[in-house]
A = this chain, B = another copy of it.
Amino acid sequence: MTSTIRPLKKKKVRQENEKIILDAAEKVFSEAGYGGATMQLIADVAGLPKANLHYYFPTKESLYRQVVQNIFNVWLVAAEVFDSATGPAEGLGAYIDAKMEISRRHPAGSKVWASEVMHRAPIIHDYLETALVDWTNDRIKVMQGWVEAGLMDPIDPRHLLYMIWATTQHYADFNHQIETLNHAQPLSDKQWQAAKRNIKRIILKGIGVPESELSRL
């Protein structure tokens, strides 16, 4: 019974503990910020002694860096829906849906990312300058192609992209404000659907997608 597991036992322990620590760290960093978070609090949330964190992650900064990198990967995966699309209604619509889903399921990650960028990205500076720049330029070209094909109005794709990022991430980063304005209640399933529908409708109609294609939202 243990024969197949035994050789992996130790490796599994490492894998599991790193996950526990990273989850706790993401939560604490998102709630307190990098400076406000303490290794002791992360340890308490993880249910481990503080020294154990330092066994897996030598410094607070290395732990934080790993958290941010994980989030960036989530972004990238979500963006894949963008690529297989044939036009703005499909591509941007799916992208907005995917980002809203992340904001709903993964708000802590979004907050850590926002906090990092707001503070001039001291830790992931290089990521922004390479991976993000490349990714962005690629999508801008795609959207530029849509403009030239007459599939959308001659909008500057850059500002369109910022608007999508801003709006979708707002539902994660400012979820406390949104809940406060919703009678102190989290958004219900219906309200999340309504949010997605409103956002997609305004943006897609705003860039010139014909009304006939909007009905499917």
What residues make up the interface of A, taking CB atoms closer than 8 Å to B? 30-37, 111, 114-115, 117-121, 128-129, 132-133, 136, 153, 155-156, 158-160, 162-163, 165-167, 169-171, 173-174, 176-178, 180-181, 184, 194-195, 198-199, 201-208
Contact = CB atoms under 8 A, between A and B. Distances in A.
Contact of A166 (B129, B156, B159, B170): B170
Contacts of A207: 202, 205-206
How many copies of the shown chain assemble into the complex? 2
B128 A163 contact: no
Contact of A117 (B119, B153, B177): B177
Contacts of A111: 118
Contact of A165 (B159, B170, B176, B203): B170
A194 B133 contact: no
Q: 8 smallest A-B Cβ distances: which pairs?
A: A35-B36, A206-B206, A166-B170, A202-B206, A35-B35, A159-B198, A33-B33, A166-B166
B156 A194 contact: yes
Contact of A203 (B37, B121, B206): B206
B180 A133 contact: yes
A31 B118 CA distance: 7
20 contacts: A33-B33, A33-B35, A33-B36, A35-B37, A36-B119, A115-B115, A118-B173, A121-B180, A128-B176, A129-B184, A132-B180, A136-B181, A153-B205, A155-B202, A158-B181, A159-B194, A160-B198, A160-B202, A163-B167, A166-B167
